[in-house]
A and B are shown apart, each in its own frame.
Chain A
Amino acid sequence: MFLLLFLLIPILSALLLLFIKKEQTANTIAIGAGLLTLLGAVHIIINKTGSFDAAWLPMLNSRFLLQADGLAKILILLTAISFPAIFIATSNNQPKQKNVFLSLMLLTQAGLMGVFLAGDALLFYFFWELALIPVYFLCSIWGGEKRIAVTFKFFIYTFLGSLFMLIGIILLYSNTSDHSFLIDSLKHANLNTAQSATAFALFLVAFAIKMPIFPFHTWQPDAYEQSPTAVTMVLSAVMVKMGLYGIIRWLLPLFPAAAIAHENIVVILSVIGILYASFIAIRQDDVKRLIAYSSIAHIGLMNAALFTQNQIGTQGALIQLFSHGVNVLGLWIVADVIEQQTGTRSMKALGGLAKKQPTLAILLVGFAFANIALPLTNAFVGEFLMFNSLFQFNPWIAAIAGVSVVLAAIYTLNMVQKVAYGEVSAATNLMQAPNKKAQGVLIVLLVIVFFTGVYPQPLFDITADTLQQLFVK
């Protein structure tokens, strides 16, 4: 029953927000709802909670089943941290009709929570789509200049992907003995090898588009660039995790044989994506695009590690799900503060941030280190484990993928250098008093970065049961 709150709190406050025209009140409600969900997330992590199960569609034997295991918990925690952080950090931004904006954001949150909690494939599909629709409106209404075409591409891309997944779900469902969408029944569906490979491909396309992995990534940099920054934060910190989540929760357990048969090609595609994105990131001048490409590289690494299908790699990916979210969120918030105050995202026009706003510059450097996965930061733990697993999988692939660490250092440090150091540029000179709220959020996030970097055990503990399910037969 408790799990239902993760859907009800955002949805009800989203509906409430539609009637609150006053910006200040709307902000408070959104932040309040976000913090309430965060409390709930902390609660389910500390205490063991049951699942919520109700009949939904007796005709199809689909159930409204919500469950929270380690994988779900860590992503719920990430979602629950991200939304209030975004609300607080961007509370000074003034989009038109802010109450509607916040309302759609909360609906997105509800969709995400549903995706992470659903234990029934049809319900999962339902939430998968529901998370997308508010984002479509958020980007198209409040986005940048080319927003409509870009968002439309994004929408059609992911919609098509999820339709493929729907066919995969139907294919599995029609071959279950008890005609049910529950994950345990789907695991025992009677598919022959060819059918299983087809269903595997159908699911994989949906998840690959969402993450995205090469060559399905073309929607992403444009979408990140054109979306309002608050939405970009959601997209890159939480939403891409839907794809990885789908792989861990659905793809690998449902098609173990097909996954092993195709692991090489997926890993190779991921590694190509990592290098490709890293090289492009080096050439970027726009801070937002740089972070977008760097994010593709990181997600590619997680996907590669998952498909090595050994315990270390999966463990690394599981905690990196959380760490990457926190890091990238921090980078986006810094980028947003800079853009709000200077009006530009071009690195050529920026410079001298350290002289103008030293605190923000220090915070930027902190998150930049986390982005390179320097030791002591949270990303180090995950990336170390993931490279380890890649090495066990194939040393050559690990060596090639390892180049991306160097490349990450190049583009990230280059960005830090251009933005934070050098002479104070004209644009940077425009910066007024520091944005206290955003800095507060950044400090909290940075504490998380270093705390989980030095002492990652809590994250291991949360995800222990998922790992056990996956690897102890």
Chain B
Amino acid sequence: MNAIIISALLGVIMMFCSWGIASAKTQRNIGLLGMLVLIGANFAELSGLWTLQFDTKGMLSFNVIGLYANMILFVLTFVYLWINGEEIGKIGDHSADYYAIFFFILCGASVLTSFDNLLMLFIGIEILSIPLYILTGADKKNLFSNEASLKYFLMGSFSTGILLLGITFIYGATGSFHLTAPVINPSTKMPVEHFLMSAGLILLFVSMNFKVSAAPFHFWTPDVYDGAPTVFTSFMATIVKSAGFIAFIKVFEVQRVALGYTWFIILPFVIVATLLVGNITAVFQRSVKRMLAYSSIAQAGFMLFALYGRSIFNNEAILLYIVAYSLATIGVFAILVKMKDYSFESFNGLAKKHPALAFLTTLFLFSLAGIPLTAGFFAKYLMLNALLTAGSGLWLLIVAILFAAVSVFYYFRLVQAMYFTAGEPAINEIDKKYELKLWVIAIVIIVLGLFPNLLFSYLYF
């Protein structure tokens, strides 16, 4: 509860900051301070020190996993803001507005980690999405940004409509909005299968796939990620997507049983389609930003494995994947944001001019590709493990690793440009402090790549 209330309050406070405080730097510092307060408040609830209590009539419930997921999302946001603060300040006139939007998005995310009721799911997704439409169009004078925003808004509204329709069907079948309500046969008082329930769940599945940009509902992703200002793409591709995944898993953790065998047809279909579209299309991109958009689709394919698994490692797997993927993506985007243009060629010769930056980019890409010694390896490992222990066919694993090898192909194109192609990199000046921040991310990635259990030690004591 702390997280939802405090983040909403902080959002309001930030809105007033943009009106009362002129200096962009002060606004940024207030935003970072607000993030720390939010992290502290969530930590207080997690450790049982202090909790704001409200009677939510069973619509929200706060368990350790949900609170820990909050913690991860907040810390990632903090890291994101800490690194990208200056760049955010360069977009538009009132950067405090953006901080307000970030806090509202986090409010939506914390609803998504704790909902127990389909209405709260709907509300959470809306709180999360509407600020995102604004962020996408933040670069008001750029037509691409406007186009992306409109596209995102139209597609997003459409998918929300599908979500609502699905919820309605489920309500019709079960007579309840509760997340785990079964369909009861009135005469026998036993749970039964019902076509309205299945239809509703499939509609929910479609809508959630849209939110996490899984194929074949991914079409908005490249345009939106490409059109949005690069700093905000970084946020959308990481924290927002992760929140979407947590909600996705929460919805289907229990209710997938109601879908019976259908579940094992539609889920592998979506996984394979996502891996295929994301990876293959990424190979042919000329712009690094668009390549990363497709790679984020491909990564969603891997994250969907968490839905497949039944193993005890499921929660760990998705949390580690979120952290590994988000840190690496934030890192790559933090370097991309400093480039003058986003083509692969602009990275040519970066290793000569800025060896440290090239090394950092390589490390982030390695983590995305899942190469050992980086957090990405264990993230992928746990996903494969979840899949295998769930007793899925081996073919799905083989498909997964074939596409993992394809992903190496496009990630390494960037490495090749940086290290093996001579040229003058089109990069803006980068000060030492900025580089230092990236090193911090890199070290975290390596530490998690050696000892991934550090992330979970908190869950178990």
Contact = CB atoms under 8 A, between A and B. Distances in A.
Is B one of A's binding partners? yes
Interface of A: 56-59, 125-126, 129-130, 133, 137, 140-141, 147-148, 152, 155-156, 159-160, 163-164, 166-167, 170-171, 173-174, 198
Contact of A198 (B394, B401, B409): B394
B371 A133 contact: yes
A163 B373 contact: no
Contacts of A160: 401-402, 405
A57 B313 CA distance: 13
A156 B405 contact: yes
B239 interface: no
A174 B381 contact: no
Contacts of A137: 419
Interface string B392-429: 00100110011011001100100010011000000000
B65 to A, nearest CB: 15
29 contacts: A57-B452, A59-B313, A59-B452, A126-B372, A126-B373, A129-B372, A130-B372, A130-B373, A140-B416, A140-B420, A141-B420, A147-B420, A148-B420, A155-B408, A159-B405, A159-B408, A160-B402, A163-B405, A167-B388, A167-B394, A167-B397, A167-B398, A170-B385, A170-B388, A171-B388, A173-B385, A174-B385, A174-B389, A198-B394
B246 interface: no
B116 interface: no
A170 B385 CA distance: 6
B325 to A, nearest CB: 18
A152 B372 contact: no
Contacts of A171: 388, 394
B456 interface: yes
Contact of A57 (B388, B398, B404, B451): B451
A56 B397 CA distance: 26
Contacts of A133: 366, 371
B371 A59 contact: no
Q: Which 10 A-B residue pairs are closest in the complex by CB-CB distance?
A: A163-B401, A59-B453, A160-B405, A129-B372, A126-B372, A140-B420, A174-B389, A148-B420, A170-B388, A167-B397
Interface of B: 313, 316, 366, 371-373, 381, 384-385, 388-389, 394, 397-398, 401-402, 404-405, 408-409, 412, 416, 419-420, 451-453, 456
Given A58-B453, A126-B372, A170 B408 contact: no
Most buried by B among A130, A148, A159, A198: A159
Contacts of B316: 59
Most buried by B among A130, A141, A147, A170: A170
Contacts of B388: 167, 170-171, 174
Contacts of A148: 416, 420
A156 B283 CA distance: 14
A472 to B, nearest CB: 34
A130 B373 CA distance: 8
Contacts of B313: 59
Contacts of B452: 57, 59
A57 B388 CA distance: 19
B356 to A, nearest CB: 11
A129 B371 contact: yes
A339 B242 CA distance: 55
Contacts of A159: 405, 408
What is the interface of chain A mostly: helix, strand, loop, or mixed?
helix
A166 B398 CA distance: 11
Given A57-B451, A156-B405, A125 B372 contact: yes
B214 to A, nearest CB: 22
B36 to A, nearest CB: 29
Contacts of B409: 156
Given A58-B453, A156-B409, A174-B389, A166 B384 contact: yes
A141 B419 contact: yes
A155 B384 contact: no
B381 A166 contact: yes
A174 B310 CA distance: 13
Contacts of B402: 160
Contacts of B408: 155-156, 159
A170 B384 contact: yes
Nearest to B313: A59
B453 A57 contact: yes
Most buried by A among B313, B372, B412, B452: B372
B405 A140 contact: no
A141 B419 CA distance: 7
Nearest to A149: B416
Contacts of A129: 371-373
Contacts of A126: 372-373
Contacts of A58: 453
Contacts of A174: 385, 388-389
Contact of A164 (B381, B401, B412, B453): B401
Given A167-B388, A171-B388, 6 more contacts: A129-B372, A152-B412, A155-B408, A156-B405, A156-B409, A164-B401
Contacts of B412: 152, 155
Contacts of B416: 140, 148, 152
Nearest to B371: A129
Contacts of B401: 160, 163-164, 166-167
Contacts of B397: 167
B419 A167 contact: no
A199 to B, nearest CB: 10
A167 B405 contact: no
A170 B398 CA distance: 12
Nearest to B390: A174
A72 to B, nearest CB: 20
Contacts of A57: 451-453
Nearest to A151: B420
A156 B405 CA distance: 7
B330 to A, nearest CB: 23
Contacts of B372: 125-126, 129-130
Nearest to B373: A130
Nearest to A127: B372
Nearest to B355: A100
A194 B402 CA distance: 22
Nearest to B382: A60
A174 to B, nearest CB: 5
A140 B420 CA distance: 7
Nearest to B451: A57
A130 B371 CA distance: 9
B456 A59 contact: yes
Most buried by B among A59, A137, A164: A59
A198 B388 CA distance: 13
A174 B390 CA distance: 10
A171 B394 CA distance: 9
Nearest to A125: B372
B360 to A, nearest CB: 15
B457 to A, nearest CB: 9
A87 B385 CA distance: 41
A137 B358 CA distance: 13
Contacts of B371: 129, 133
A152 to B, nearest CB: 7
A147 B405 CA distance: 20
Contacts of A167: 384, 388, 394, 397-398, 401
